[in-house]
Chains A and B, each alone.
Chain A
Amino acid sequence: MDRKLLHTPEGVRDLYGRECSDRQKITSLINKKMKTYGFDCIDTPTFEFFDVFSKEISNNSARELYKFFDKDGQTMVLRPDFTPSVARCVSKYFMENDEPVRFCYNGKTFLNTHNLQGKLKENTEIGAELMNDGSIYADAEMIALLVESLTSTGLEDFQISIGDADYYNGICEEAGVDAETESEIREQMTNRNTFAAELVMAENNIPEKYINLIKSVSTCIGDASILDNAGSLVSNERSKKAINRLKELYKVLCSYGIEEFISFDLGMLSKFNYYTGVMFHAYTYGVGDAIAKGGRYDNLLGRFGKNAPAIGFMINLDDLMTALYRQKVKIKADKACNIIEFNDDNFDKCLSAAQELRAEGQRVVLKKRTD
């Protein structure tokens, strides 16, 4: 026996038995919910050309892609994320179509992350994308779908944080911050490191008033009441528009009756380059990162030749399962197996009994009696 072959490489794992069936149950509950909102299935290739993924992500994450060459020497990438693939697919097959397109998917994604940090390199994602619809109703539909998907799994104690980078962008524009300084400030602000951001701003002679305003963005976390306050602090169009859009969005979310799950976080800035408007994360106890992430990416389809707005989200199934187990949420188990023992003489009789039960949907194992 070769012992080296018995364990899996770091960052990937086997799934079997109860755990595997739990994951299937949860996946199908979420898929069912997505179907009720009219979403159709989509499945894209596991690997694609490097360029499909390279533009949207920072250089740092580009290093984390699994890359290899095909026989023609072209660089291939194992998908780190479904969204660019779905965008490419929709741009190609729905080029002439201006009607909203709804797709949902589930599958594995791959990121070559560092060893020994407790992170998986192969993750299972369940997601949905709504394309060709730039309205506030599309934003609300996706957030409501995320809430309903999560509640359908039995998870109760979670929270969706909604932000819009345009609020921050508007303030930077108003303060006359150039692009290079802005990206330096953003880098610090994504980590909520306001004092480092302050140093950068002071070095670049940004007026005191704006330094304080930009710093305050990172602590704009709370329920819908923070929007009024945040709105009153700014005078530029872009930020005001962002706030108004969030307020309208909140109204629609109230119509869905899901306001108890909603909070706002204007300091939510993404290192991902493709988000253009509203962004949202789902948080719950038991895991160290958001279990679901999503947002609007109105420029992404344009890269593939179709100018159309789009919004999507993905749930990280591995993190969701950890949260469900840690919060002791009950997941319905499969029915127990009936065991029918047979010997060479009565096999036909046992078999027909088993087939009858199987036809009723029961689980039956035929077992040879050993005397």
Chain B
Amino acid sequence: MKKDDRYLTFALGKGRLVNSTMELLEKCGIRCEEVTDKSTRKLIFTNEELKLKFFLAKGPDVPTYVELGAADIGIVGKDTIMEENRSVYEVLDLGFGKCRMCVCGPESARDLLNHHEMIRVASKYPNIARDYFYNRKNQTVDIIKLNGSVELGPIVNLSDVIVDIVETGSTLKENGLTVLEEICPLSARVIVNQVSMQMESARIRSLIEDMKGNL
């Protein structure tokens, strides 16, 4: 395989980051309208002129594609990178998709976080929750993995608190929950495969510089 006819492949996390990402890429002179076309059934999109390929994947899978080299570059939220903990290079903070990883619950649960007693935590992010409670707070907790609508946890008494992403806090408020502790801020990041970074160093670095300049 000759270097010049090799495609660079982007893995994009499905969802709210896609549109902002494509806008940014367009500013860098990279166009691929099909990606944001909701009616298409295609899985992979190509920009022949620049030798680029794009595909959409579920957020948590993006670091996997990048780590194993199926994609050279990935764009995904920091929450996913922390939860998956794969060996990839994290090279750029895109600044959009800003939100926070928080411990949330009813106001009455606030007191539970001040002691070291065992509590139940429901989360879509068991690794982040475990790291926060075990390594930063030294609190023993029982972590329950849920796959969505995590806010239900405290409401139906499945758990005392939850660990989840908070953007505006309106879902929480509507359900009588509040942010109790902030774990860390989050935003969209660019990740790069280790081999690609070496083998395609010039191309990838100029892409990153372009993106940085157009933020």
A281 proximal to B (CB < 8 A): yes
Chain B CB within 10 A, most for which of A118, A191, A281: A191
Q: Which 8 A-B pairs have the closest CB atoms?
A: A288-B69, A192-B89, A193-B90, A288-B68, A283-B198, A283-B195, A221-B201, A195-B93
Interface pairs (13), CB distance under 8 Å: A117-B86, A159-B199, A161-B198, A191-B89, A192-B91, A192-B197, A196-B90, A221-B198, A283-B195, A283-B199, A287-B195, A289-B87, A290-B194
**In the complex, B88 has a CB within 8 A of chain A:** yes
Q: Please tell me if the beta carbons of B198 and A281 are within 8 angstroms of each other in the complex.
A: yes
Give the docked Cα–Cα distance between A285 and B72 (Å): 11
Q: In the complex, which residues of chain B have a beta carbon less than 8 angstroms from the beta carbon of A117?
A: 64, 67, 86
Please measure, in the bound complex, the distance between the C-alpha atom of A118 and the C-alpha atom of B64, giving whole angstroms: 9
Q: Could you tell me if B195 and A191 are in contact, using CB atoms closer than 8 angstroms?
A: no
Q: A284 to B88, alpha carbons, bound, how many Å?
A: 16
Q: Is A265 an interface residue (CB 8 A)?
A: yes
- With an 8 A cutoff between CB atoms, is B6 at the interface? yes
Q: Cα distance A192–B68 when bound, in Å?
A: 17
B205 at the interface (CB under 8 A from A): yes
Q: Determine if B159 is an interface residue (Cβ-Cβ < 8 Å).
A: no
Query: Measured between alpha carbons, how far is A263 from B89 in the docked complex, in Å?
Result: 18
Interface residues of A in 284-299 (CB under 8 A from B): 284-290
20 further A-B contacts with Cβ under 8 Å, apart from A118-B64, A221-B198, are A117-B67, A157-B3, A159-B198, A192-B89, A192-B91, A193-B89, A195-B92, A196-B90, A219-B205, A221-B201, A281-B198, A284-B195, A285-B1, A285-B6, A285-B199, A288-B66, A288-B68, A288-B195, A289-B87, A289-B194
List residues of chain B with CB within 8 A of the CB of A288: 66-70, 193-195
Asked whether, in the complex, the Cβ of B68 is within 8 Å of the Cβ of A194, the reply is no
What 1/0 mask marks residues of chain A from 161 to 201 whose CB sits below 8 Å from any chain B CB?
10000000000000000000000000000011111100000
Taken together as a complex, chains A and B put the C-alpha atoms of A281 and B201 apart, in Å, by: 15
Taking a contact as CB atoms under 8 Å apart, the answer to whether A265 and B198 are in contact is yes
Min CB–CB distance B54 → chain A (angstroms): 19
Chain B interface residues toward A at CB < 8 A: 1, 3, 6, 64, 66-70, 86-93, 192-195, 197-199, 201-202, 205
Chain A nearest Cβ from B195, distance in angstroms: 5
Number of interface residues of A (CB under 8 A): 26
Contacts of A192 in B (CB 8 A): 89-91, 192, 197
Most chain B beta carbons < 10 A, residue from A196, A222, A288: A288
What is the bound-complex CA distance between A222 and B197, given in angstroms? 11
A157 and B195 contact, CB distance less than 8 A = no
Bound-state CA distance A288–B70 (Å) is 8
Is residue A343 contacting chain B, with contact meaning CB distance below 8 A?
no
Q: Distance in Å from the Cβ of B135 to the closest Cβ of chain A?
A: 12
Least distance between B82 CB and chain A CB atoms (Å): 11
Residues of A within 8 Å of B194, CB to CB, are: 283, 288-290
Asked whether, in the complex, the Cβ of B201 is within 8 Å of the Cβ of A222, the reply is yes
CB of A125 to closest CB in B, whole Å? 18
> In angstroms, how far is the closest chain A Cβ from the Cβ of B98?
14
Give CA–CA (A265, B201) in the complex, Å: 10
Decide if A97 is an interface residue (CB 8 Å cutoff). Answer: no
CB distance from B29 to the nearest CB of A (A): 22
- Is A327 in the interface zone, CB < 8 Å from B? yes
Complex Cα–Cα for A341 and B88 (A): 57
Shortest distance between the CB of B13 and any CB in chain A (Å) = 18
Measured between alpha carbons, how far is A181 from B64 in the docked complex, in Å?
30
**Chain A contacts for B70, CB-based, 8 A:** 288
Q: Which of B64, B66, B88, B90 has the most CB of A within 10 A?
A: B90
What CA separation (Å) do A219 and B197 show in the bound complex? Answer: 10
Within 8 A of B (CB), among A237-256: none
What 1/0 flags go to A34-70 for Cβ under 8 Å of B? 0000000000000000000000000000000000000
Bound-state CA distance A295–B53 (Å) is: 35
Q: Nearest A residue to B202 by beta-carbon distance?
A: A222
- Write out the residue numbers on chain A whose beta carbons fall within 8 Å of the beta carbon of B87: 191, 289
